[in-house]
């Protein structure tokens, strides 16, 4: 895929993976549409992209609201007449054993952002994506494949998204391309500080430091963009995550012990 003049809609564009993808894709000639909840952040990123000669604009969007997702897509079509790539980068996590959670209402927020919000965006963008034989890129996780200690609600929401997109790919039968990026822990994002703790509040800055299992944000972004260009269907970052389906099938108990150890090392 040649990225020049491709129209890319990116959710969660105000920080982390979404922000970095927006900047890097614009530098490669794509027309980028930024979707996030805060106008101030959208303006900041838009200015940064335009200073580098990029082509973009932002649409204030809360993806948990269906009408705002429809507006995002309508604004994109009005400006650029098409959508080539929809990147589902918005996401929120958690970090707590289930039995220690005092208020489980944040599970609704996890599902609304990680699953339902993605469904809203895909439903609105699908006609245009079909017309361009475009691509849906999901910023997924190993936790969409298998359960993860201390991440029960997050894993459930990512399982839901995986099942939805897998089914949609079967139904569309090549009308739209799909890329699932299965990511491990990524350094340089605010995913961990924004994660819900046992009291239902965001964890903020903690003593948890990324271990050697984590991948630098820039490395992650380059791999995702290369996968888009090469029109791959699935990538694992880091590569060793591709062992999870095999280990889960044949060595399930061993895999779960490794997961526990990895989580607590973080």
Which residues are registered as beta bridge partners of 97?
none
Degrees to nearest 5, angle at CA 79 with 20 and 70: 80
Distance CA 242, CA 149 (A): 19
Degrees to nearest 5, angle at CA 173 with 168 and 177: 75
Q: Which helix (DSSP H) or strand (DSSP E) does residue 141 occupy? A: strand 135-141
Per-residue confidence (pLDDT) for residue 211, from 0 to 100: 58
Token pair 């890097």 in the structure block, residue = 24
Per-residue confidence (pLDDT) for residue 146, from 0 to 100: 92
Whole-model pTM?
0.93
Q: Which residues are catalytic?
A: 154
Per-residue confidence (pLDDT) for residue 28, from 0 to 100: 95
Per-residue confidence (pLDDT) for residue 204, from 0 to 100: 80
- Average pLDDT for runs of 10 along the chain of length 266: 96 94 96 95 92 92 98 98 98 95 95 98 98 97 91 96 98 98 88 89 70 83 98 95 90 87 76
**CATH superfamily, domain at 7-265:** NAD(P)-binding Rossmann-like Domain (3.40.50.720)
- DSSP SS3 for 187: strand
Per-residue confidence (pLDDT) for residue 210, from 0 to 100: 55
Per-residue confidence (pLDDT) for residue 207, from 0 to 100: 53
């Amino acid at each position: 895929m040649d990225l020049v003049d491709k129209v890319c809609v990116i959710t969660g564009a105000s920080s982390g993976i979404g922000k970095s993808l927006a900047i890097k894709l614009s530098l490669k000639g794509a027309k980028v549409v930024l979707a996030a909840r805060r106008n101030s952040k959208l303006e900041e990123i838009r200015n940064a992209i335009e200073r580098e000669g990029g082509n973009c604009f932002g649409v204030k969007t809360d993806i948990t609201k269906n009408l705002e997702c429809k507006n995002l897509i309508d604004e994109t079509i009005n400006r650029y007449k098409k959508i080539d790539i929809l990147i589902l980068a918005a996401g929120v996590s958690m970090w707590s054993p289930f039995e220690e959670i005092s208020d489980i209402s944040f599970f609704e927020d996890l599902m609304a952002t990680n699953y339902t919000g993605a469904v809203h965006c895909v439903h609105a963008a699908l006609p245009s994506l079909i017309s361009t034989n475009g691509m849906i890129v999901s910023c997924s996780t190993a936790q969409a494949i298998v359960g993860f200690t201390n991440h029960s609600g997050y894993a459930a929401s990512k399982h839901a998204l995986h099942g939805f997109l897998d089914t949609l790919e079967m139904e569309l039968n090549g009308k739209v391309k799909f890329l699932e990026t299965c990511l491990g822990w990524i350094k340089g994002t605010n995913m961990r500080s924004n994660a819900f703790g046992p009291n239902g509040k965001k964890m903020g800055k903690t003593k948890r430091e990324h271990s050697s299992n984590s991948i630098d944000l820039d490395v992650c972004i380059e791999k995702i963009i290369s996968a888009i260009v090469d029109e791959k269907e699935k990538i694992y970052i880091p590569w060793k995550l591709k062992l999870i389906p095999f280990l889960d099938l044949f060595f399930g108990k061993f895999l779960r012990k490794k997961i526990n150890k990895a989580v607590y090392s973080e």
